[in-house]
Structure 1
């Protein structure tokens, strides 16, 4: 099963120790050597492996993967993955002029990209990237009782992970506390968490069936970690990436789906503006635009009703307009609640308007992926809708591809991880919510404000 980590397996027998328990190959451009014991190893065996591999292959990093039930706690559940790193050698520190441990760096970046969300481990990273067939097969058809929303847990030192004994694992078996104190090189530990039910020792087939879902998650995390350590071209500084992208005009006029009709208890001339977002910057833009453009004498009342977009954290293509539409639809439905009905009556509201902003990445029909904002305004009383796109900021497709690696919420345009989050993970100090200000030289909020200023608001009041 350890071979599932590899993109390709080496045929160079001369490079291999005289043991069928070892395989080598590549993950991306990085040479990887895996020791696969024929049976669970003791701590002393692992110590020998860890010391032998660097001597034979000149390795300066070791990745240890495995699983164990002793990790279960209130926070760590069966099916979760635990990641730990520990600097070994030179008193736990590295020389100032030495390159930083690439696995450690990759683990930090991956943590910034996905946080504690491990759902991407279930999909086998099939979206936007190829996955070895054997790895994909591990993930398919597994009947298990583990949570389908696995969490990632990050620990600073291996001594925080107590195995309680030997741990059967996909690459090597390890008593973590003992081995981490004596490993000769920098190390990463990746452990899956089993349910701790304990199968009869002789029931090898049943034990393997239980281990596969856990081991597969560990394999996929380990593979992604190693591959990411080879993708140094994504790492940038703010100064090196500043002004590298272009501000471009809207590529088309937005198309908005029809809205449902709603009847509210209207009794006056007041205008009730509903903003369906918890984003304070977008709320401020809409409040400012409506305040500036309000007709003389208009009695404007503004509330926020955070509503779900239903298109994931990172919408792509038509999911941008759909997300704005969904927010407005959900907000209009929410206004039928008794507390909102009472507010409409007490404030003498005669017109209900909902205004939504949805940022998204356009990848179709353009030479380079571009971040746009769509503004949709719905006058539910007059049943009129207006919409427009902001100017956009182009972005390197490598970061878009990276974001798409982590999967989707049921649709390939409903991304789970934002491009901004990926950019900020690779560019220290970059604002994931307004990376446009650095890459394109103009804040996304400035572009959105200009878009609304160009848009005719359907007031529907005399």
Structure 2
């Protein structure tokens, strides 16, 4: 399975004189030497190899992978992945920030991109992680005994990796600090958490199956880490990307799916506006627009109740319109509940309107990926709908591709990781929710405000 981590393999006996060195090749632009220790691995074995490899091959950074059993706690579960390096959590460490320490920088970026979510390590999303033909060799079926999505845990060396959060890892040595003690400073350890408790002693097949699942996750993480370290301009500054993108007009009129009919017993002439979002800036935009455009004498009531879009954290293409539609539909359905019906009666509501804003990335039918916002307003009482797109901000496809690498929620347009989160991971200090103001020179919320101001609200009241 070790060879599967490589983009291409190059077994050169002149380069690999040791029988322990399994193979060499490339991951991206990085030359990679894979060497297996004796089994079971001892701290002295790992230390000896880590000291010897840089001397023989001029290597700069060392990545040690493996797996071990865990005493499961509330935090760490079997099937999770633990990433440890000497500088994590040490404010005084400066070595990890040296320009040449790309592996540590890549680990920081990857952590900011995905946090603790390891779902992208599962077999159903590995197609998004890598296009390497070798990757298929490490894809394993999901083991039912690992009944949760894998989590990523970042630990210091020493006691934290052995007992932090109720966890104890036994791998390579009784104390991981012993392994790290004499390693080169540019060293990391990536461990898969395995737990053989509950398996009969003779159940070798089941044990191997579980070990294979854990090993696959570790290899996929390690491969992504090494691949990321080869990314051109891994880290950028806000000034270097300022106004590098373009503000562009809507590329087409938004498509509006038909809505279900929802009628509520009228209790008066007041208008209820429901805003189905937890985004405070979008809420403020809609409150302001409806307040400014309300007909003379209109009795407007506004409530904010967040509802799920159902299109993932990062919608693409038609999922933008679908997300706005879903939020409105979920809100209209919820209004039939007894508590909301009582609210409609007490406030004397005769007209119900739901307004939603959904930001999304357009990749189809455009020359460059573009972040747009769709504003959709549904008057359920009059059964009228209006919608429009804001002007958009283009974005480098490199960052869109990275966001898409981390998988989808059942549909290739329902992304799990936002492009803004990826951008902010590579550009310290960038606001992941409003990167448009730096890259395009105009705030996302300014563009949305202009669109709402030009949209005719279907009041449906006299």
SS in 1 for 2:253: coil
Query: How far apart are residue 187 of structure 1 and its match?
Result: 1.2
Query: How far apart are residue 413 of structure 1 and its match?
Result: 0.3
For the 8 Å contact 1:51–1:184, the answer to whether it is kept is yes
Equivalent in the alignment of 2:197: 197
SS in 1 for 2:289: helix
Q: Give the count of matched residue pairs.
A: 455
SS in 2 for 1:69: strand
Q: Distance in 2 between matches of 1:392 and 1:359?
A: 10
Q: Distance in 2 between matches of 1:385 and 1:338?
A: 26
Q: Distance in 2 between matches of 1:126 and 1:428?
A: 28
1:348-363 equivalent positions in 2, closer than 5 A: 348-363=348-363
Query: How far apart are residue 97 of structure 1 and its match?
Result: 9.9
Q: Distance in 1 between matches of 2:100 and 2:296?
A: 62
Query: How far apart are residue 388 of structure 1 and its match?
Result: 0.2
SS in 1 for 2:361: strand
1:103-252 equivalent positions in 2, closer than 5 A: 103-123=103-123, 126-128=126-128, 130-162=130-162, 167=171, 176-197=176-197, 204-252=204-252
Seen in structure 2, the aligned counterparts of structure 1 residues 366 and 129 have a Cα distance that, compared at 3 Å, is farther
Could you report, residue by residue, the CA deviation over 1:221-250 in whole angstroms, capped at 9, with x for unpaired residues?
Answer: 111111111114242110000000000000
Equivalent in the alignment of 2:82: 82
Q: Does 1:309 align with 2:309?
A: yes
Query: How far apart are residue 100 of structure 1 and its match?
Result: 4.7
Shift >6 Å, 4+ stretches = none
Seen in structure 2, the aligned counterparts of structure 1 residues 431 and 42 have a Cα distance that, compared at 3 Å, is same
Moved more, 99-108 or 297-306: 99-108
The answer for unaligned runs of 5 or more in structure 2 is: none
Q: Distance in 2 between matches of 1:207 and 1:293?
A: 66
Seen in structure 2, the aligned counterparts of structure 1 residues 115 and 97 have a Cα distance that, compared at 3 Å, is closer
Q: Distance in 1 between matches of 2:413 and 2:369?
A: 13
The answer for unaligned runs of 5 or more in structure 1 is: none
Q: TM-score, normalising length from structure 2?
A: 0.93
Could you report, residue by residue, the CA deviation over 1:268-318 in whole angstroms, capped at 9, with x for unpaired residues?
Answer: 110000000000000000000000000000000000111110000000000
Equivalent in the alignment of 2:442: 442
Q: Distance in 1 between matches of 2:95 and 2:162?
A: 29
For the 8 Å contact 1:423–1:430, the answer to whether it is kept is yes
1:47-58 equivalent positions in 2, closer than 5 A: 47-58=47-58
Moved more, 225-234 or 438-447: 225-234
Moved more, 59-68 or 13-22: 13-22
Q: Distance in 2 between matches of 1:96 and 1:461?
A: 63
Seen in structure 2, the aligned counterparts of structure 1 residues 109 and 136 have a Cα distance that, compared at 3 Å, is same
Moved more, 257-266 or 397-406: 257-266
Equivalent in the alignment of 2:376: 376
Q: Distance in 2 between matches of 1:400 and 1:98?
A: 28
SS in 2 for 1:326: helix
SS in 2 for 1:400: helix
Seen in structure 2, the aligned counterparts of structure 1 residues 297 and 127 have a Cα distance that, compared at 3 Å, is farther
SS in 2 for 1:161: helix
Q: Does 1:264 align with 2:264?
A: yes
Seen in structure 2, the aligned counterparts of structure 1 residues 102 and 256 have a Cα distance that, compared at 3 Å, is same
Q: Distance in 2 between matches of 1:66 and 1:237?
A: 35
Seen in structure 2, the aligned counterparts of structure 1 residues 452 and 94 have a Cα distance that, compared at 3 Å, is closer
For the 8 Å contact 1:276–1:327, the answer to whether it is kept is yes
Query: How far apart are residue 134 of structure 1 and its match?
Result: 4.4
For the 8 Å contact 1:85–1:158, the answer to whether it is kept is no
Could you report, residue by residue, the CA deviation over 1:127-176 in whole angstroms, capped at 9, with x for unpaired residues?
Answer: 455444443343233544103411111113344212968527xxxx8852
Equivalent in the alignment of 2:339: 339
What's the Cα RMSD here?
2.2
Equivalent in the alignment of 2:36: 36
Equivalent in the alignment of 2:254: 254
For the 8 Å contact 2:69–2:170, the answer to whether it is kept is no
Q: Distance in 2 between matches of 1:165 and 1:242?
A: 45
